[in-house]
């Protein structure tokens, strides 16, 4: 059996129109995550500014920020978290475009990070490839404490027979083998 693995982080230029609920313990309580600020990778922001697309991205960020502001997330320990927001599976390609956010809960800002994400969805027999990510400082910039960095991944999937859209509450994710370079603020 061929091992599923995705190593291609992709940038989402049209982030998300409708988000659904959170994959972590979630409830809709206004203002509960107002301390989390949603941002784009530095390199995406620079390219969007150069191409004149920054205004459209700002609107997408506002929609995503509203989601984080209105959804209570139980993030637990002060570490780096991945929050899956939405998935769009295309059966013809047997891939899912996964929208998500890395949330920095470290005490210090992060300059780069790498690791793997194991994903599950609430569909019997569905297998989602492990996502391998390596996000260098020239891509990330500096991810401040309590900032959420939006990204998309194209992820191989097995076990589905037709196109399907997934909302955040249908996912369970686990980050493993994470290495992060902290920005020394001393």
Q: What token pair was written down for 11?
A: 């940038």
CA separation, residue 60 to residues 63, 75, 150, 159, 163 (Å): 5, 23, 10, 31, 24
pLDDT at 22: 26
Q: What token pair was written down for 13?
A: 């230029």
Q: Are 21 and 145 in contact (CB under 8 A)?
A: no
Note down the domain range covering 58. 5-182
Please give the distance of CA 31 from its chain centroid, rounded to a whole number: 21
pLDDT at 61: 79
42 φ/ψ angles, rounded to the nearest 5 degrees = -55, -45
Q: Are 136 and 80 in contact (CB under 8 A)?
A: no
pLDDT at 62: 80
pLDDT per residue over 90-132, tens digit each? 999 999 999 889 999 888 899 999 999 999 999 999 999 999 9
Per-position DSSP letters for 145-172, written without gaps between them: TTEEEEEEEEEEEES--S-EEEEGGGEE
Paired sense of beta strands 147-158 and 37-39, if any: parallel
- Whole-structure pTM value: 0.75
As a whole number of angstroms, the distance between CA 181 and CA 43 comes to 18
pLDDT at 48: 80
Q: Are 147 and 73 in contact (CB under 8 A)?
A: no
Spans of the chain, pLDDT less than 70? 1-34, 184-186
Looking at the chain, the number of H-run helices and the number of E-run strands are 3, 13
Q: What token pair was written down for 172?
A: 């369970």
How many domains does the chain divide into?
Answer: 1
């Amino acid at each position: 059996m061929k091992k599923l693995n995705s190593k291609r982080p992709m940038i989402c230029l049209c982030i998300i129109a409708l988000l659904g609920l959170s994959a972590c313990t979630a409830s809709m309580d206004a203002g509960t995550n107002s301390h989390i600020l949603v941002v784009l990778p530095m390199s995406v922001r620079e390219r969007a500014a150069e191409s004149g697309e920054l205004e459209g991205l700002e609107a997408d960020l506002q929609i995503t920020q509203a989601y984080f502001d209105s959804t209570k997330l139980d993030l637990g320990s002060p570490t780096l978290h991945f929050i899956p927001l939405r998935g769009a599976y295309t059966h013809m390609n047997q891939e899912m475009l996964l929208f998500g956010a890395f949330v920095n809960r470290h005490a210090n800002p992060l300059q780069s990070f790498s690791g793997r994400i194991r994903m599950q969805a609430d569909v019997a027999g569905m297998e989602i490839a492990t996502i391998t990510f390596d996000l260098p400082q020239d891509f990330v910039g500096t991810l401040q404490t309590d900032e959420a960095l939006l990204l998309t991944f194209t992820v191989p999937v097995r076990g589905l027979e037709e196109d399907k859209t997934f909302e955040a509450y249908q996912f369970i994710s686990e980050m493993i083998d994470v290495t992060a370079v902290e920005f020394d603020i001393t």
